[in-house]
Chain A
Amino acid sequence: MSFFSKSPWILHYDASSCNGCDIEVLACLTPLYDVERFGVVNTGNPKHADILLITGSVNERNIDIIENLYRQMPDPKVVVAVGACACSGGIFARAYNIQGGIDKVLPVDVYVPGCAARPESIIDGVIKGIGALEMKRKKSA
């Protein structure tokens, strides 16, 4: 991929993460990693977003919120699960209120491993997400 046809905008939602991955997502925006140079913008509005970046796993309370956010995003859209908890429930898989990874509710395109996921791997996951987004766009066109 030599260039992006679109600047991918990101919606970040903290499902039930311990803050570790959320802070690393924010760290991607700051001077050391600075993903904004690739046109990646962290938006608060699901209607502007192309990539849904979810940290943490699904619990009873946030399951509706996650589905709602995904529904509000325009097509084509990509889901990136960041961190061990979002991939499978991680260390909290045995906790009573955790139902499992994000793939229990949403179709996940990219899994980013790590506890906490490092900024480098989050950026890598987003870049892979952009590839998935391009494919989806070509398919729908």
Chain B
Amino acid sequence: MKRTIIPFGPQHPVLPEPLVLDLILEDERVVDAVPTIGYIHRGLEMMVERVEYTEMGFVAERICGICSFMHGMGYCVSLEAIMNVEVPERARWLRIIWAEISRVQSHLLWLGLGADAFGFENLFMHCWRMREEILDIFEKTTGGRIIHSVNRIGGVKRDVSDAELAAIVVKLEELGKAFEKTANVFGKDPSIRHRLSGVGVLSADDARAVDAVGPMARASGVVMDTRLSGTYGYDQVDFEPVTETAGDCLARVVVRMREVQQSIGLVRQAVEKMPKGEGMPLENKPRGNPVGETYTRLEQPRGEVLYYVKANGTKNLERFRARTPTFANIPAMIKLVRGCDLADVPNIILTIDPCISCTER
């Protein structure tokens, strides 16, 4: 049969980001997809040669504007490991709180974009309306909507008062209740079910074989969550990783929906368990220049992220490397796109929650 090649991106209405795929079709069926990269490559990792390690955290935050808090945290945690800096307890809890709130933010954003991709614009608007409430919390506590810059090597820059934290928990729980209504639409609406269930099925074995991470792997029934390792204070909160078994687009939606509620619960736990009081230490400033190397793993909204940092005792790091979750999920995406209908391509691409600016940096 004659093959047709349809270019997807770099400018495409379904994704604001320049993802580029050449879709090779036979009739309506995609037989292969060839990704091209580089449209958003900035050379961020090499900037360590030009930017001092104390300032690099702000650059690391701009790997991606959606999980900016987590990228800043990952960089600071790596440097803390190299320089043997102990993070004050309250600062560690604040990091967990902000990290989980940014997970809620990211998932709401994604659920909206997903709804837009399958043509449910009303749902897109509702998800983003709720997301604005989360951004209000961020703006109040960190000063920024998208880029927060509260992480420092050795702690955090700002404190959030106990009264404010209690108010945040109340606000988040109200949001969680309101979200249940929206979640019902995602889970029960027959047209959504018809559009997403059975589309782009990734079996648990395949997910392991292509090394899928995060909600992508969990939707296929693979229990995999870096938070389970208990690092950075996650050993002091109770949670069960959210898993689904179907492995299709709908399962990936459901996993993220349940994770919104899970993260709200984690914020509540963190606020209950953290040490209370005003004027507690938030930052242990590191001394001298870092020497050594380290690996750091964090669970971002999109999955496991891995940082490698190597320092040689000068002001500039020798190497900074980030393996981001979308990079790990692209093989799974290519596997799913092969053999699907052309009309399902936007949904499949969207359900891996692609973040191209993370991937290409």
Contacts and interface: CB of A to CB of B under 8 A. Distances in A.
Interface of A: 11-27, 30-32, 43-44, 46, 56-57, 59-62, 65, 69, 91-92, 94-98, 115-116, 118
Q: For chain B, give the interface size range.
A: 35 or more
A92 B42 contact: yes
Interface in B1-48: 10-13, 16-18, 38-44, 46-47
Contacts of B40: 14-17, 56, 59, 62
Contacts of B63: 18
30 contacts: A11-B11, A12-B16, A14-B17, A14-B357, A16-B41, A16-B357, A18-B357, A19-B16, A19-B64, A19-B65, A20-B147, A24-B146, A26-B16, A30-B112, A30-B124, A30-B129, A31-B129, A31-B132, A43-B13, A62-B39, A65-B10, A65-B11, A65-B39, A94-B47, A95-B43, A97-B43, A98-B43, A115-B62, A115-B147, A116-B65
Contacts of A96: 43, 46
B50 interface: yes
A104 B301 CA distance: 35
Decide if the interface of chain B is mainly helix, strand, loop or mixed: loop
Contacts of A21: 65
A69 B10 CA distance: 11
Contact of B11 (A32, A69, A97): A69
Interface of B: 10-13, 16-18, 38-44, 46-47, 50-51, 58-59, 62-66, 68, 109, 112, 124-125, 128-129, 131-132, 144-147, 355, 357
B65 A59 contact: no
Contacts of A26: 16, 128
A131 to B, nearest CB: 25
B148 to A, nearest CB: 11
A8 to B, nearest CB: 18
B65 A18 contact: yes
A11 B59 CA distance: 28
Contacts of A15: 40
Given A32-B132, A69-B11, A25 B41 contact: no
A47 B44 CA distance: 34
A96 B10 CA distance: 22
Given A30-B128, A59-B41, 16 more contacts: A17-B357, A18-B64, A19-B17, A23-B146, A24-B145, A24-B146, A44-B12, A46-B11, A56-B40, A60-B38, A91-B62, A95-B43, A95-B46, A97-B42, A98-B43, A115-B147
A27 B51 CA distance: 31
A17 B112 CA distance: 20
A31 B357 contact: no
A116 B135 CA distance: 13
Nearest to A31: B129
A11 to B, nearest CB: 8
Nearest to B113: A26
Contacts of B112: 30
